Structure formats: structure tokens, C-alpha cells
Amino acid sequence: MVAPLPSSAGNRFRQRKISTKQTLQIFKQSQISDIDNEDLQQRDLQEIETGVDKNEEEEVHLQKILKNTGISSTAQTYIPTPDASKVWTEASKYYKGRFHEPESYIKSSCQTEDYSGCLYNMDEVDEEWLTKYNQELKKKEVAPLTEDEFEHIFYNYEKVISDKQPFLVTDPTQVLPLEEIRLYILKFDKSSVENIRKSLSSELQVHPFVTNFDAKCPTKPRTIEQLLEKYGEAVYEHFKSRKIERGGKTVTPILKFTGEDDSDAYICFRQRQFRQQRKTRRADTQSSEKLIKLYQELKNTRELVFLVAQRELKRLEALQNEREIFELRCKVKNYKRDLGITDSDEDLIAHKKRKPAPPPPEVVTEEVTKKDKKGLSKVGNNANTQDKSKVTQTATDLAGTDSSQQQFQPYVKLPPSKIPDMELETVQHLLKSKDVSMQRYVEEKLRKRKQADFGFTNFTDDAYNPFFDLSVSNKNIIDSSHTPYSSITSSFFDVQTLGYIPDIEKYIETGKNLDDKDALEFKLHQTTGKNRFKKPTTQTKFIPERYNPLLSTSVNTSEPIFTLRKRVGRYGQVYIDRKPMIKKPFEDEDEVMIDPEDYEAIDAKERHEDRWKYDSDLSIMDMNDNEPFSDDPSKLNSISNDTQVIRFGGMLLSKAYETLKESILQQRQQLFYQQYQRLQAQQQKAQQLQQAQQAQGVSSRQGTPGSVNKQTPQAQLQQQQGRSNSVNQSQQLQRAQSQQSPTPTPGSVNSTTTSTNNKKPFNTNTLVKTEN
């Protein structure tokens, strides 16, 4: 309850949000009377919205009214207005001094529209007067004064008076005479806002100066000078009467702007303005800097805009000039036609800008100076571009370089929606078609070549199909099973050329062309002629290899035709091994006719076979039983078949061994169990026997009952163990075996049982083995 008071007596009551952090005083009903009555009252007071600024709330009359709210009726209370009926004549005595406004002073913040057109709007009094005046003018047959013109004059009067007689209120009758006003009106005041158009028009030399902001009048308003001369006097009289009527104030009432005077009773009714924030010096300099910057900006902008305006004026002039030229040309042409003058006057032709690159600028300028008259129009028409070029030092060849410009076809990335809908070819198809076209091309070439060579026979070579023999090399492959994975395979083939054409003369004589069907004949007997074995010569037809890389089906690869090998045998005997195509002689007959007893025959055969040992009818490919390129599925991890067999065998073996081991173990266990059962039976018998013996000799022998007592529970335990755990069978067996031994003490037995209890069955197994 002891808390800082939320509202001290002196401070204004402020409503705050209730928060948990703020302690609030709680008043009981009994305490309420203690609360300062004024405090409550003040609270009530502030709830009334006065609508005036805080410092103005203290105004005496307002306070009075505020305090009396609710007490007396508000109708009787009012804020008294000051008495304005009296004129303080001494004012001019105290208020003196002169101030000249500088030209560049920012004076007001009117909107742009306020500066366009006239600032004075005539009212009904003026209208009345004007109609009357115009009727008078009509009688005098003088042009009537329009409303706009009247406003214009009136405004000018008003302005001069407000400028020159700011305190006319003191004596309205002292309005300046017309002559003086006229003087001021006609005097050019650069600083005045209204004279912007005037100054601009004089600067740009544009008369009349009409902007887009100006209302569009059907007739052009007359200048102020003219108006003053014609209607000035009449309007002045009207103006003066109105001014006096208004007591020297402006004819149209305006808002009170100077309202900071605290003594002014009408302070509540002045124009509202936002109270300015307190400024630090820094803020002051900042804003002044900003103003300077803004001023500079606007100055620069004005300069630019002014230049633009000048440019446009010049352009207008140029256009008018062009029109003039055109009209003059028309006239000159007419005269020329009438007079029949036929000289080529270039002045008359409106030259189009030349498209092709014109000559360099020096030439042009020379031209201008030389044929001053003739080149005039040309230059005149092209002056714009040419002058520019001179200014920028860029030659006139800038004109019309369009034609020489290269046209680039840019890469256009189409959006997905714009991609034309067309069938897409697969790469495979494309490649195939490419292949086909290539093949066709080659075939076409070959055909043409053949046509060109018609009548000639080419024996040097197969010109169209250069053939060469692919032969299997003579290297003996020992283990062909590895060939699919071996790099030797790639060097497996030898290329052997074969270029022997027998009976060449025949072909030449007959003029027959060699072609595919008419295969080349190779007479092999000529090659084999050197051979010791006079074999009947064999003529084999060989179809030369047609090498066609494009058609896989028609490839006809020839095998090696004939290979020879020189071999030196015993005693320097030289053998020539031939292959293939040579048949082993007597092979079939000998095999049948050999007599096992006939050693000579066997020997001869051996010798014969020896001789033919390396001759073979079969190519290496055929000789190899296991085809190197078999269709068998490839082997796993390149592991050879043998290895796989070994591994598989090993696997089987180990498996078999394991099963064997297990079965042996089982067998043994069974055996042990049987043995154990037998032993137990024996043991029981022995125990019974022992007990009988002990019972008999109790009196004779003393000091043994303790041992007996010990033993019986142990035996029972052992029995239990043996039944529950078959693993312990061996232990039981062991024990049984040891019991069989002549001197088994029960204690020792017990100890072994417990010690072996934890051992693994495998260990026990070995133990058993060793014991056995």
C-alpha cells in the first residue's frame, strides 16, 4: 500500500496503461474523503476537449468557462471579442522602419496553380459594376472590358497597394493615386512571383507568353499597359471605393496569418500550423545546408529547362523557316515554268539525306565554300546533321551507315511455350540415317569410278576394295581358356597381304574385268613347288576378302592360305611344316592295319607321325578344343575353371568334414551316456554295499559317520547335475572313472566336479580323449 503516488498534486493527471510493474495505490471507500478534492476536480477538467493548444488553455476567459462547466449554463459564458471600433492613430508613430525584401528570398508556399492566371476573383459587386460600365462603353462605342481583363487590372492595383501601403488600414482614404500605381505596375519587378512569366517572356523573347497552366481564352488578353490606358481610370475609381469600403483591407478577405501575438483575443481562430520542433544548432545547419543544396539544384534545373525552352523556340523558328523556304520554292518554280528557265537550280530541290556514306567532311566544307550558291540548299537541308558532325568532329559519314551495318542473327532462346511443335528424332535414328547416307555416298562414288574405268582392267590391286588377309598368327596358344581376358587376343591376328594373280595375261587379253563373282585364282602349287613332298597340286579358289565396313553381313574374311615353317630335327634334318591344306597321308589305312606285334610298323608309324607332327589341316582356331571365343557365360572374377573347381571342392570337403565331425560327436556322446548309466548302476550297488558294511561295523569302527554324512548329499547333487545337464555327462563319466580307481576320496571327487563344471564341452571332449 505504500507506493509512489500516481498523481502528485501539482502534476497533470495522465492516463497510463496499467501494468504489472507499476504499483498502484488502492483506495478504500473510507479513504476516499481524504483524497484531495482538487485532484479529482482537475481530473474532471482535463477531460473536456478544449480544442486549443495547451498553452492557450490558460487564457483567462477560457479557464473561466472551463471551470464553470456543469455549474452554470454555457449559454451565458463566452469569450469576449475585442473592441475594434476604435482606431489607434498613434500606431504610425511607433511602427516605423524600412525593410527591403531581397530578391532571392523565398516568400511564400503557394501552389503552382496559384501562380497561373490572375489571383483576384471578382465578386458580385464587381460584376454589377462591370456590366454597368460595359453598357456605358457600348454607348461610347468602345470595346467592352472582359471579366478576365477586369480581374487583371484589379489585381494589379491590389498588389501595388498591399506592397506599398501595408498599413492602409489606418487611413483607407489615403489610397495611392492612379498615376503612382501605374508607375509601380509598369515598373518591372524581377523578384515578384507574378512577374515570372514576364521575366521569362522577356528572357526568351516570347510574346505573348502562354503556358499550359493558363486557361485557354478564345481571345488573347490585352497587355496591362493597354488596359490601363483604356480602362485604368474607371477601374481605379471602382477599386478605390471598394478599398475604402473595406477599410483599407484587401477587397477579398484573407486569412489571418500573423497570429503569434499572445495578446490577440482571436488567437483561437487563427490559421492552424504545426508547432515547430525545437531545433538544435546541428539541425539548423543541416537544414540550411539542405536549403542551399535545394537552391542550387533548382538553379541548375532552371538553367537546363531554360536551355530546353530556348531550343524549342529555335526549333519553332526553324520549322517556320522551313515552311517559308518551301513556299518560296513553290513560287520560284512557278516563275521558272512561266519564264521557261531550264537551268538546274539546286536551291529548288529538297535534298533527302543521302543514304550512302557521303564524302569526308573536309570535302563537304570545301564544296560549300566553292559552289557557294549551288551547294547552298544541299548544305541547308543537311545542315543539321553536318553541323553536328562538325561540332563533334565526327565526319558526315555517320549518316546512313545502316546499309553497311552487318546483320547479326542473334541466338534466340525461345520460351517453352513458343517452341514449335515438331517431331523429335532420336539420336539412334539420326546416326543411322547418317550412316546410310555415308554408305550411299561411298557406293555412289564406287559406281562412278567403275563407270569411269570401264574398259580398263586394274590388276595392280583391287582398286575398289583394297583387300588384305586377316590371318591367325602362328603363335601357339597353350591355354586358350584365358584368351577372352588376355591382351594377347588383340594381337592374335596377323595381317598378310596377298597379291598374286595368276594367268594375268588371260584377263588382259580377253579384256575381262575382274569382279566379285569371277574370283581370283591362286595356284597354290606354284608356291608349294619348293616343297620336298611332291604332292598333287591343288587349285583352290579364293574369294578375295571384301572389306565392307558398312555392311557387317557381307564381310568375307579369308583365312591364311598357306604357312610354312622350317624345323631342324635330329642330325640336322630339316623339316618344313606346312599348314593347312595338306592331308596327312595314309592316316586312315595305317590305323587299321597296324599289328601290335609288328614293332617295325609301330616304329614306322611313330616316325611318320613324328614327321607330320607339326603339320596340320586345321587352323589354330580349329585346333584349340576350347574355343577362345565361346558363347559360354563369362567366368566370375576371371577365376579360371580349375580354381573354381578347387574352391568348390574345398567347400564341399570342409562341409563334409564338419558333418562328419558332428556325427562322430553325437555318436560318442551317446556312447558315453550309455556307459555312464551303466556306471551309475554300479555305483549305487557299491554304495548300498558300503552302507551295509558300515551298518555292520558301527560298533567296531568309530569316527567315520561325518564322512558318510558329507558324501550322501554330494552324491545326490551329482545325480541331479547329471540329469539336468547332459554336457556334464563327461564329468560324471570322469568322476565315475575316477571312482573306479582304487582310492578315490570323496573330497577330491567333489573338487574335480566343481572345477570342471565351468569348462566347455569341447574341452571336456579333448579331456576325455586324453584320458582315454
Contact flag: residue 106 with other proteins (CB under 8 A) = no
Binding-residue pattern over the window 228 to 267 for other proteins, x denoting contact by CB under 8 A: ----------------------------------------
Contact flag: residue 470 with other proteins (CB under 8 A) = no
What phi, psi does 766 have (nearest 5°)? Answer: -65, -40
Is the Cβ of residue 293 or residue 655 nearer to other proteins in the bound state? 293
Q: Are 471 and 542 in contact (CB under 8 A)?
A: no
Q: Which stretch binds other proteins (CB under 8 A): 121-129, 317-325, 696-704, 754-762?
A: 317-325
Among 90, 124, 179, 338, binds other proteins (CB under 8 A): 338
Is the Cβ of residue 91 or residue 398 nearer to other proteins in the bound state? 398
Q: Which stretch binds other proteins (CB under 8 A): 131-139, 176-184, 319-327, 595-603?
A: 319-327
The CA angle 688-689-691, to the nearest 5 degrees, is 65
Among 31, 74, 191, 394, binds other proteins (CB under 8 A): 394
Cis peptide before 208 (omega within 30 of 0): yes
Is the Cβ of residue 244 or residue 309 nearer to other proteins in the bound state? 309
193-212: contacts with other proteins (CB under 8 A): none
Among 63, 384, 538, 630, binds other proteins (CB under 8 A): 384
Q: Which stretch binds other proteins (CB under 8 A): 337-345, 504-512, 559-567, 608-616?
A: 337-345
Q: Which stretch binds other proteins (CB under 8 A): 92-100, 314-322, 633-641, 719-727?
A: 314-322
Q: Which stretch binds other proteins (CB under 8 A): 268-276, 297-305, 515-523, 638-646?
A: 297-305
**Closest approach of other proteins to the CB of residue 300, in Å:** 5
What does the alpha-carbon distance between residue 772 and residue 769 come to, in Å, rounded to a whole number?
A: 5
Identify any residues that bridge with 694 across adjacent strands, giving them in sequence order.
none
DSSP 577: E
Which cell goes with 694?
A: 558300515
Among 30, 173, 212, 393, binds other proteins (CB under 8 A): 393
Q: Which stretch binds other proteins (CB under 8 A): 300-308, 639-647, 687-695, 758-766?
A: 300-308
**Closest approach of other proteins to the CB of residue 413, in Å:** 24
Q: Which stretch binds other proteins (CB under 8 A): 146-154, 237-245, 340-348, 656-664?
A: 340-348
Among 145, 176, 395, 524, binds other proteins (CB under 8 A): 395
Classify residue 247 as left (phi > 0), alpha (psi -120 to 50) or beta. left
Q: Which stretch binds other proteins (CB under 8 A): 23-31, 315-323, 649-657, 739-747?
A: 315-323
Tally of CB atoms within 10 A around 462: 19
Strand-strand pairing, 493-496 and 469-472: antiparallel
3-state secondary structure 116-137: CCCCCCCCHHHHHHHHHHHHHH
Which cell goes with 562?
A: 598357306
Contact flag: residue 294 with other proteins (CB under 8 A) = yes
What phi, psi does 575 have (nearest 5°)? Answer: -110, 145
Is the Cβ of residue 15 or residue 406 nearer to other proteins in the bound state? 406
Among 391, 495, 568, 574, binds other proteins (CB under 8 A): 391
**Closest approach of other proteins to the CB of residue 412, in Å:** 21
Is the Cβ of residue 392 or residue 552 nearer to other proteins in the bound state? 392
CA 493 to chain centre: 57
What does the alpha-carbon distance between residue 557 and residue 543 come to, in Å, rounded to a whole number?
A: 9
Q: Kind and range of the H or E element at 740?
A: helix 729-740
Contact flag: residue 284 with other proteins (CB under 8 A) = no
Cell 515554268 appears where? Answer: 337
What does the alpha-carbon distance between residue 714 and residue 753 come to, in Å, rounded to a whole number?
A: 10
Q: Kind and range of the H or E element at 565?
A: strand 563-568
Number of residues that bind other proteins (CB under 8 A): 56
Tally of CB atoms within 10 A around 469: 19
Contact flag: residue 328 with other proteins (CB under 8 A) = yes
Q: Are 171 and 248 in contact (CB under 8 A)?
A: yes
CA 745 vs CA 461, 507, 709: distances in Å? 111, 120, 14
Among 290, 432, 475, 512, binds other proteins (CB under 8 A): 290
What does the alpha-carbon distance between residue 701 and residue 694 come to, in Å, rounded to a whole number?
A: 8
- Residue 292 burial by Cβ neighbours in a 10 Å radius (0-12, 13-18, 19+): exposed
Query: 6 in helix, strand or coil?
Result: coil
Contacts (Cβ under 8 Å, ≥6 apart) of 368 = 375, 379
Among 127, 203, 387, 658, binds other proteins (CB under 8 A): 387
**Closest approach of other proteins to the CB of residue 396, in Å:** 10
349-378: contacts with other proteins (CB under 8 A): 360-361, 373, 376-377
Q: Which stretch binds other proteins (CB under 8 A): 207-215, 295-303, 410-418, 525-533?
A: 295-303
Among 162, 321, 556, 691, binds other proteins (CB under 8 A): 321
Cell 508547432 appears where? Answer: 275
Is the Cβ of residue 298 or residue 664 nearer to other proteins in the bound state? 298
Contact flag: residue 448 with other proteins (CB under 8 A) = no
**Closest approach of other proteins to the CB of residue 324, in Å:** 5
DSSP 348: G
Contact flag: residue 125 with other proteins (CB under 8 A) = no
**Closest approach of other proteins to the CB of residue 495, in Å:** 57
Query: 633 in helix, strand or coil?
Result: coil
DSSP 575: E
What phi, psi does 564 have (nearest 5°)? Answer: -125, 150
What does the alpha-carbon distance between residue 127 and residue 397 come to, in Å, rounded to a whole number?
A: 67
Contact flag: residue 414 with other proteins (CB under 8 A) = no
Cell 486549443 appears where? Answer: 52
Among 24, 186, 398, 686, binds other proteins (CB under 8 A): 398
What does the alpha-carbon distance between residue 605 and residue 589 come to, in Å, rounded to a whole number?
A: 11
**Closest approach of other proteins to the CB of residue 283, in Å:** 9
Footprint on this chain of other proteins (rule: CB under 8 A) = 286, 290, 293-294, 297-298, 300-301, 303-305, 307-308, 310-311, 314-315, 317-318, 321-322, 324-325, 328-329, 331-332, 335-336, 338-339, 341, 345, 347, 360-361, 373, 376-377, 379-380, 383-385, 387-388, 391-395, 397-399, 401, 405
